[in-house]
Structure 1
Amino acid sequence: MVAQILVVDDDPVQRRLLKHAIEQHGHEPHLAENGRVGLEYLKDVVDRIDVVVLDLMMPEMNGLEFMAALADLGTDIPVIVQTGQGGIETVVEAMRAGAFDFVVKPVSPERLGSAIGNALKLDQKEARAKAGRRSRSSHVRFSDIVSASPAMDRVIDLARRAAHSDIPVVLEGESGVGKEMVAKAIQAASDRSGKPFITVNCGAIPANLVESILFGHEKGAFTGATERHVGKFAEADGGTLFLDEIGDLPLDTQVKLLRAVQSGEIETVGARQTQKVDVRLISATNKDLIEEVKAGRFREDLYYRLNVYPIAIPSLRKRKEDIPVLVRALAERLAHEQKLPQPLGVSPRALALLTAYDWPGNIRQLENAMFRAVVLAQGHELDVEDFPQIAAQVPGYSINAEGAISWGGPARHQAPMLVEKPPRVFPDFAERYDTQEAAVPVSADKTPDIIPSLGDDGDVRTLAEVEEQLIRFALKFYHGQMSQVARKLGIGRSTLYRKLKDYDIDPDHPFRDVA
């Protein structure tokens, strides 16, 4: 395949060398003498260019400014940056700006050919999906947060209240639960809507660059500081600064952050004067910050400055009511992004499987699983066979040599009667999402494995009735292991014992008094 390669370099000698190297590998080069010329050229032929080879150090518009403008065009063309300055700071800045690869002048034809070859191997479907996620994520509203659980409703309610002021917020929760999405929704609902929303992942920055990235540095402030760098606080002036994984911030940087929070002023590395900034801080962490304070890894005074308004976002396994609606929403969105000819449905069997899984990676893992299933989908509906990695981790499902998935019942019980479909985690899946009824197995010890939504009178049962039956089932399923029962039900042991007393349940014989 002959690829179209755009070379952007202000040095005519370098342009000729790169042109020759690109032609050696069988590709067609296009040459631009600087960033502005290259950007104007791209606006006309953006769909035809496969890779950009970009010089970082150019007059008028440097490489980093070019990549920022390229991002505004909404394109995912891989960019290979080249520079004569090979310091770590330059590498980090280029990669943070979205560079696919990095080469140092003078680059050999072999190294350049390898970089171009790797860029061309990028999965274009995945690139489109990422571009779609980025374009949406910059304009997140509370209405975009898909939820059906009371736990997430409370999170959204707290976040809406936080949006009405500039109070510092800390979002607590495991990785992948959607902390950044909630932060963006807070920004969009606040008076700072439309102002900058700047994200910094404190855990992904080399320790020696954290201070420079947050507060900026002047030219010559340290070895390798060849030009002035504006920090994230200054970029977020007037808007919101989202500090992700705040618990990973080095202690010496925490001191400067505390000063910035207290005074509203930042001290740029190498500058003689402080700079006033107006920034709303939202922090996020997957750690227990109190434990980090006790261990001496997080400053107590900074903790109390940041943790004024904490919002705990529950993991996906603790709000399984959200899984079916998330799955449906993701299937619809990803099918649209992949330009499938028709909408993609999800079978009740697949919903049951996905709801039974605990999702340790939370929504991020669910989205990745759905993306893979949608890209490889053969029919008009996703079924359990489209989620082999998930089925392999859910007790009772098995995969044969041909890759077919079958239900074999809970691993800790004897095999159930032969069925055509796995049990439904929520018995009304079929009624809500399909007209076909799923066969329901009954285990050998006669423990019921579904909880009906309707009573004998045809009306919806009360929450207390459903809760009582679920507790009885969990006690039987986990053989009376109280810690495991409480953990799987998402409640504390003391709460479980109280409910046993309220419902007059014998934990050793939970179904003895059930007809």
Structure 2
Amino acid sequence: MTGSILIVDDDPVQRRLLEAAVTKFGHSAIVTDGGEAGLDVLDGPDARDVSVVILDLVMPGLDGIGVLKAMRERAINLPVIVQTAQGGIETVVSAMRHGAFDFVVKPASPDRLQTAISNALKVEAIEDEVKRTSRRRGGHLTFKDLITHSPAMDRVIRLGQKAAASNIPILIEGESGVGKELVARAIQGSGDRRSKPFITVNCGAIPDNLVESILFGHEKGSFTGATDKHTGKFVEAHSGTLFLDEIGDLPLDVQVKLLRAVQEGEVDPVGGRSTVKVDIRLISATHRNLLQQVKDGKFREDLFYRLNVYPIFVPPLRDRRDDIPYLVRHFMEKVAPADPRHRLSGISARALAMLQAYDWPGNIRQLENAVFRASVLAEGELLTEEEFPQIRAQVEGTVNLDAEPASAFAPVADEPQPDGQAASSGAAAALPETEAPARLQPRFGTLRALDERGNVRALADVELEMIKLAIDHYNGQMSEVARRLGIGRSTLYRKLKEYGIDPEAGRLDRLAS
């Protein structure tokens, strides 16, 4: 018996069907009727009992994407299976970008639902073991431990190594998921505070009314609910490093006190009668354009210049594609000790070419999640395109996957053995050189985004091809075609007429040239 399955759906019929199915599979169910109610469970005492979330995407009030965003902000790392009755690949991709584990189309068959739940539980179990292994390994992280062979990261490493030799405030900028915290840890691990505390605070995940208390501490009885004295993150980080992630999300009133803390080296606990001196190394990070926020009046100019003494920009993964093969291998090796089967030997050339062709809007975090899931659920000894269906649906048809990437299987020589959890457990080993397997039939129909000259195709051409694909895929069942395309039957028939297609024939006629 595993933990409970949290069902979040505004449709009472769907809730009953899902509850019955989940119970039949041998799990207990917690049922809620909307996004807000689902988050209340995840924030409450029953959260520890939840192993998987089944989440409807389209709901009034807080919808499924909103729930996924809130879960990420709260650092709730549960596998989420999203349900959708409408919307195309864009909807599914958006859900995956926001952290969804899998998706099912309503009404989902019991077998499909059971498979999704079993896969989610399997991945969660191995993920827990990976975390335990990482905690046991411990150690300090340095720049030698960062998995990179990209020229785009050379500047980051040079700047970080110089910064480690001083105590000036550092601002690390870059998109979500690029590894800003790893750079901060490498700076701390390479400086004279390496043996001191490293305290992290996600400023975007703290309720506004608690930010001041969490950062600066509070005295017992200083406000309702303050039953004990709390020292605050600044005091916890004394003599070490304080890492303020998503600094751009701090409320303006807290920014004033943060400025004083940085300038004077002292903090005022909420309800306290005296200030507390602190000695910290401050590293901030943001995915926002802080200078633009200053112009918009959302971030204090004086605080910006105080934090931006030494800026470091971490490039997105799409600008450092040479790192992808090494990162893939590292993430696969991270899974191996926790996977009882220990059967993966590598990744096919076609699969790696596909991963290098994708833009990774969620950056390294998204890549890690994709490789982790693929490694746990793969049945064979080699990861192939079949293990990355959502990415394959977006990439295939836009690039030549048969062309082996130049850097795909370059051996990695003299890469140091890890001291910290970000390094590869088999750093000196080369990626296995394997032959690309025979082309597999795609499980998803795909559209070409570019024409023969490499230009983006006209929207009308893509729309026509999409309609043809849908009619072929659903064997001319027009009601189903319209439903899957997210349009009305009358709109579908009008478009068919415009493109010169005879819907009654059950076949598609080519347009006259």
After TM superposition, the score normalised by the length of structure 1 is 0.57
Amino acid at match of 1:366: L
CA distance in 2, matches of 1:374, 1:244: 30
Partner residue of 1:13? none
Instruction: Name 1:273's counterpart in structure 2.
Output: 274
| Per-residue deviation, 1:96 | 8.6
Instruction: Measure how far apart 1:424 and its partner are.
Output: 2.6
Within-5 A mapping of 1:173-184: 173-184=174-185
Q: Does structure 1 residue 424 correspond to structure 2 residue 419?
A: no
Q: Where does residue 363 of structure 1 map in the other structure? A: 364
Q: Which amino acid aligns with 2:184?
A: A
Number of residues of Structure 1 aligned to a counterpart in Structure 2? 323
Q: Does the 8 A contact of 2:247 with 2:286 survive in 1? A: yes
2:191 partner amino acid: S
Counterpart in 2 of 1:240?
241
1:75-108 Cα distance to aligned partner (Å, 9 max, x none): xx9699xxxxxxxxxxxxxx999999xxxxxxxx
1:431 and 1:128 map into 2 onto residues whose CA distance is 30
Query: Which SS does the other structure have where 1:392 is aligned?
Result: helix
Cα distance in 2 for partners of 1:437, 1:477 equals 25
Change in CA separation of 1:237 and 1:79 when aligned onto 2, cut-off 3 Å: farther
SS at 1:198 equivalent: strand
Task: Find the aligned partners of 1:208 and 1:436 in 2 and give their Cα distance.
Answer: 57
Q: State the Cα deviation string for residues 202-246 of structure 1 (Å, max 9, x = none).
A: 000000000000000000111221111110000000000000000
Give the share of equivalent positions with the same residue, in percent. 57
Counterpart position of 1:387? 388
1:18-55 CA distance string (max 9 Å, x none): xxxxxxxxxxxxxxxxxxxxxxxxxxxxxxxxxxxxxx
Taking a change above 3 Å as real, the CA distance of residues 424 and 229 of structure 1, as seen in their structure-2 partners, is: same
Change (3 A) 1:182 1:239: same
Q: CA deviation at 1:125?
A: 1.7
Query: Cα deviations across residues 388-438 of structure 1 (Å, max 9, x unaligned)?
Result: 111012141xxxxxxxxxxxx65xxxxxxxxxx823362464687525378
Q: What is residue 100 of structure 2 aligned with on the other side?
A: none
- Quote the offset at 1:129 in angstroms: 2.5
Corresponding position of 1:262 = 263
Which stretches in structure 1 are left out of the alignment for 5+ residues? 4-76, 81-94, 101-119, 397-408, 411-420, 441-472, 482-515
In the aligned structure 2, how far is the partner of 1:2 from the partner of 1:172? 41
Q: For 1:133 and 1:350, how far apart are their aligned partners in 2?
A: 27
Query: What letter matches 1:187 in structure 2?
Result: Q
Query: Quick check: 1:176–1:363 contact (8 Å CA) kept in 2?
Result: yes
Q: How does 1:328-339 map to 2 (within 5 A)?
A: 328-339=329-340
Inter-CA distance 218–279: structure 2 relative to 1 (3 Å threshold): same
- For the 8 Å contact 1:138–1:184, the answer to whether it is kept is no
The yes-or-no answer on 1:376 pairing with 2:377 is yes
Q: Deviations over 1:333-366 (max 9, x none)?
A: 2222324434531111111010010000000000
With 357-366 and 320-329 compared, the bigger mean Cα shift is at: 320-329
Equivalent residue letter for 1:166: N
Name the amino acid aligned to 1:159.
G
Letter in 2 for 1:179: K
Map 1:315-354 onto structure 2 (within 5 A).
315-354=316-355
Q: CA, structure 1 residues 388+301, in 2 after alignment: closer, same or farther (shift >3 Å)?
A: same
2:348/2:437 contact within 8 Å kept: no
Give the conservation status (yes or no) of the 8 Å contact 2:293–2:299. yes
TM-score normalised according to structure 2 size: 0.57
Answer 1 or 2: higher relative contact order, Cα 8 Å, separation at least 6.
Answer: 2
2:466 maps to: none
Q: CA deviation at 1:126?
A: 2.3
Shift of the 254–179 alpha-carbon distance from structure 1 to 2, 3 Å rule, reads: same
| Distance in 2 (alpha carbons) for counterparts of 1:98 and 1:435 | 38
Quick check: 1:430–1:436 contact (8 Å CA) kept in 2? no
Code of the aligned partner of 1:279: I
| Residue of structure 2 equivalent to 1:209 | 210
CA contact (8 A) 1:356 1:425 kept: no
Is 2:455 the partner of 1:478? yes
Q: Which amino acid aligns with 1:344?
A: S
Is the CA contact (8 Å cut-off) linking 1:241 and 1:280 kept in structure 2? yes
